[in-house]
Amino acid sequence: MPLHRRHVAGKTEAPSKDIDHDQEETKKMSDDSMAYFGPTNSRRSSLIFIGLVALETIAQLLVLRKTRVRSVSYLIMIMMSTLVSTLPMLLLLAVGLGLSYNSANDLPHQRYIPIIVASTIFAGQLPIFLSYGVASAGITIFGLSSRPIKENRVESKGSHSQSNGRKMSGQLKAVLAVLVMIGVLLTENFFIWVVSATYAPSQDIKTLPSPLQDNGQIALRYIFGSVLNLRKRDVVILRNMINVEAILVSGLGLSLVTIEVHGASIRRNLWSLAMRGVLTLAAARSIRTISFLMTVVPSQNPMCYFDHFPMPPKEWLPWLKVGLMPQVDGGCNDLIISGHATVTSTIACVVTSVVGKPLFTAAIWMFLTMDYLVEIYEGFHYSVDMFLGAMLVNFLWAVLSPLEDPAKLDQELAQRKFHNLQDSTLSDVFRYTLPAFGTWIQLVGIVPHSFATYSCIIYTVIVIFQISRFGFQQYTQHCLFCLLFMALGLFL
């Protein structure tokens, strides 16, 4: 996997008008470096390292306590597996606590994002209504705290118009990218039904197709079952404890906050980043739809069709209505390429590029690899589905890197001021809570899942109306984030 270090702070040159400020920053960084390599920080690093070793030792003892050791070789295998499972968490803590390369020059977000991501694992066992509630509350708080203060600047009419044109262009491109992605997801959702409804062998008990041979799954079941003596239940519990989706969502939210508030400092633009990420996902999902329509692959579960779909109606209108229902639990023959892998890999690319620390990147991709291995082990996807999903997204993310070319962002990277959260009025709180609350009641199932497609359409119409009537405003951005959150939550 690529280490997305292109925008790491400290690797870019500041504009000439900020020379004095840069000199002060350089002096401060130099002082920080001296402090980092001094005796005090050396002791601190040693204490952090000892603490991480102690955590690993505790994890090893807890695992060994619940394991019946049969031989020395089995003991070694269990200890190695425990180390591999806990290593990503240790790497996150190491980066967050400053025990990584060049940590003396870390910006705040390069520390707090790894720490919050690590904390998310401990909070990952919350019920779904609480986890979605926390995410919705976070979106609301982000919306209220990112309301920009309009500054009165004396400038010519022509320059003001050109500046607004550049700014609006970036925002509108990102909005159009999101709308394209929503269209791609809705189209894919319909064709999931098409490919399943037209694959006749899966609809008759007498002709149920056998799954394809998956050597990756065979190897994993041998390792987990015969070598490590783990039951399927044990593997699933471990996967639920990690909760990769929650890790990625929390990392994505903090990354968006970082870019919105401190984008000028790290030379990143929220809308360019959003456009790159959304187009990466849209392109991957389009290729996925084309792939599973071209070649139909039998499901690993021969009875899948009967668990997911009704028998194909003979009339066209009911047939189309079934296709418009959101396939929240996935389909049966939409296997190449994995939709799960495309979404999680895209978010991973965004988050790791914002943090820009190799150890953090390694930890995130190790977590994703574990998640993919369990998907394969349980039989939800073939090995090739997950592999191609991750590879395709990384390729598309790299290809679309010119969308974030810093040379094109100089005019857009400006320091911004925001209203304090405590200055929000009751009217502000109500306005920003309303779209986030609508997203929450849809995701937790208070609004039936059969209505989810229409919810996405309603939010899309609201965004289009706001842009056409009032132009692109910060509240439009808030509604757009709510729409994106709902779409990912429904179709992930």
Q: Please say if the pLDDT value at position 56 is more than 60.
A: yes
Q: Please say if the pLDDT value at position 317 is more than 80.
A: yes
Residues 6+ away with beta carbon under 8 Å from 151: 417
For residues 411 and 165, the answer to whether their CB atoms sit within 8 Å is no
The C-alpha atoms of residue 384 and residue 338 are separated, in whole angstroms, by 9
pLDDT value of residue 2: 40
Q: Please say if the pLDDT value at position 32 is more than 70.
A: no
Tell me the residue type at 377. Answer: Y
Q: Which of 155-159, 415-419, 464-468 has the highest mean pLDDT?
A: 464-468
Q: What average pLDDT does range 319-333 have in this prediction?
A: 82
Helices of type H across 198-269: 215-221, 232-242, 244-266
pLDDT value of residue 297: 92
Query: Tokens in use for 221?
Result: 């079941």
pLDDT value of residue 410: 53
pLDDT value of residue 9: 38
Q: Please say if the pLDDT value at position 25 is more than 60.
A: no
Q: Out of 199-203, 285-289, 439-443, 484-488, which region has the weakest mean confidence (pLDDT)? A: 484-488
Q: What average pLDDT does range 442-461 have in this prediction?
A: 86
The C-alpha atoms of residue 418 and residue 99 are separated, in whole angstroms, by 33
pLDDT value of residue 288: 96
Nearest C-alpha neighbor of 144 from the set 431, 415, 416, 481: 431
Q: Please say if the pLDDT value at position 461 is more than 70.
A: yes
Tell me the residue type at 183. Answer: G
Residues 6+ away with beta carbon under 8 Å from 65: none
pLDDT value of residue 239: 82
pTM for this model (two decimals): 0.76
Residue 75: count other Cβ atoms within 10 Å of its Cβ.
13
Q: Out of 222-226, 261-265, 381-385, 447-451, which region has the weakest mean confidence (pLDDT)? A: 261-265
For residues 209 and 304, the answer to whether their CB atoms sit within 8 Å is no
Residues 6+ away with beta carbon under 8 Å from 471: 168
Percent of the chain whose pLDDT exceeds 70: 84
The C-alpha atoms of residue 162 and residue 451 are separated, in whole angstroms, by 42
Confidence of residue 123 (pLDDT cuts 50, 70, 90): low
Confidence of residue 233 (pLDDT cuts 50, 70, 90): confident
Confidence of residue 136 (pLDDT cuts 50, 70, 90): confident
CA 462 from centre of chain: 25
Tell me the residue type at 47. Answer: L
pLDDT value of residue 260: 76
Confidence of residue 3 (pLDDT cuts 50, 70, 90): very low
User: How is the chain split into domains, by residue range?
Assistant: 16-27+127-150+159-491
Q: Out of 85-99, 200-214, 264-278, which region has the weakest mean confidence (pLDDT)? A: 264-278
